[in-house]
Amino acid sequence: MKYLLSRSISSLLLLFIATSISWAQLQPDLQFFRYRDQRGVNVYETWNKDTIPYEDLKIRLGANFWQSFQALSHENVYGTDSLYGLGSGFNLATANLNLDVQLEDGIRVAVESYMSSRHHPEFWVKGGYLQVDKITIFGEGSFIDFWTKHLSWKVGHFEVNYGDMHFRRSDNANDVYNPFVENALVDGFATEIGTELYYYTDPGLFFMAGITNGEIKGDISDADRGPSILAKIGYDKQINEDFRFRLTGSYYGNSNAARSTLYSGDRAGSHYYLVMAEPGASATRDFTSGRVDPVHTKEISAISVSTFLKFKGAELFGFYETSTGKGYADDALDLDSRGMNQIYVDVLYRFLKREQLYVGLKYNTVSGNLLDGNANDEQSVQRIAFAAGWYVTKNILGKVEYVTQEYSDYPMGSTLDQGKFDGIMVTGSVNF
């Protein structure tokens, strides 16, 4: 009853807002903002480029809706009876709700929520943060001018800026930036409480330093814990009308985490439902199916080097990532740190005047000591995906993908022992 009442109140509130305010008022242009439709594709940091004049307080209400048809099959060395009985059909639709507010000239706040996700069917808040790109509220002066030209500050509970893949991934129902159905095998994504400070230079260089609580949520217990440190350096330049070049390096580290979730921070879930899952599994409980978690929850030191090249309609995006760390079992057994390496490359070609159509190929592999409490054996996972997509409008995206994924050197008795899945995914989303 409490769940139904909460959903009913939320629905009535949204209906009231939608009928009380005009659409133009709900969708104003905001400063230093990444659009949540096709215009946001291949946008990374928002930079300090003042292209939208400040007028007054503005509120932008947006949402994402995602639906998929899945036709995947899986197998391992023990036969299909050892795995969940997969068939073909539609997965439960998911939805996001986004509220972005221009508070003052150069000051913006964002609140991001999941209305429904694979892991949580109920409405819940992903996070919220304040972004300050100007400090003209303090008057005039050389430092204020310097901030306006070079600095940006983010504070709150936000998606940490580690690597570049988190700008290209699907986030529950928001898949408008991702040309494929799923994210990287090891999904470097986390929402943490903290702050990031950016310094931008005119030639295209930027630097970022940040510190967070190192956890997915707040905690005031006396648990032994330390903060996470973030750093990023990058160069992003539109060299000429046809060619763009981007290269970045990122670091994320925590030597004494209560529970680091850099590689398990997505509370929404994978878009490959129940692949390689055991009989009796549920989409909600086994929500990370198809992904790989190296379980660096107690200690972690991760580096990611990413690049993005675009020449007319052709794109190449890729990154190399290496991470060392420990899980709880490693720490309890006093084992050495385990290592993980990931390679990700995708190649796309976008067609037509507004690049409404695209085709792409993705290769992604992970290798290393991937099992908590086992620092001796190494495992590897490989994924290849072919995809095609159509932006029917800037707000509507349809995709079709063929994916194949293989697991190697997992221990005897594991459902992943000589595991493999492949098949077709068809998805559609509305994003505004």
The alpha carbon of 289 is separated from its chain's Cα centroid by a whole number of angstroms, namely 16
Give the alpha-carbon dihedral of 251, 128, 106, 26, to 10 degrees.
130
DSSP 54-93: --S-EEEEEEEEEEEEEEEEEE-TT-GGGS----EEEPPP
Q: What is the pLDDT of residue 27?
A: 85
Strand partners, 208: 198, 232
Q: Report the residue count for the chain.
A: 432
Question: Could you report the per-residue pLDDT of 110-149, keeping only the tens digit for each?
Answer: 999 999 999 988 898 999 999 999 998 888 889 999 999 9
Q: Residue 235 is encoded by which pair of tokens? A: 């160069």
Under 8 Å CB-to-CB from 259, ≥6 apart: which residues?
A: 215, 216, 297
Let me know: does 346 contact 306? Beta carbons within 8 Å: no
Task: Write down the domain spans for the chain.
Answer: 30-431
Specify the pLDDT at position 217.
Answer: 87
DSSP E strand boundaries for 160-294: 191-200, 205-212, 228-238, 243-254
Best CA proximity match to 392, nearest among 429, 360, 337: 429
Contact 183, 169 (CB under 8 A): yes
Which residue, chain included where needed, has tokens 């086994």? 286
CA distance 194 to 354: 38
| pTM over cut 0.85 | yes
89: exposed, middle or buried (Cβ count in 10 Å: 0-12, 13-18, 19+):
exposed
Q: Per residue of the chain (432 residues), give pLDDT as tens.
A: 444 444 544 544 454 444 444 555 678 999 999 999 999 999 999 987 778 899 999 999 999 999 999 999 999 999 889 999 999 999 989 999 999 999 999 999 999 999 999 998 889 899 999 999 999 888 888 999 999 999 999 999 999 999 999 999 999 999 999 999 999 999 999 999 999 999 999 889 999 999 999 999 888 887 888 999 999 999 999 999 999 999 999 999 999 999 899 999 998 999 999 999 999 999 999 999 999 999 999 999 999 999 999 999 999 999 999 999 999 999 999 999 999 999 999 999 999 999 999 999 999 999 999 999 987 899 999 999 999 999 999 999 999 999 999 999 999 999 999 999 999 999 999 999
Single-letter code of the amino acid located at 146: F
Positive or negative: CA dihedral 320, 359, 159, 147: positive
8 Å CB contact between 392 and 49: no
Neighbours of 225 (CB within 10 A): 17
What's the CA gap between 221 and 228, in Å, rounded? 17
Looking at residue 91, its amino acid is N
Its CATH architecture, for the domain 30-431, is Beta Barrel (2.40)
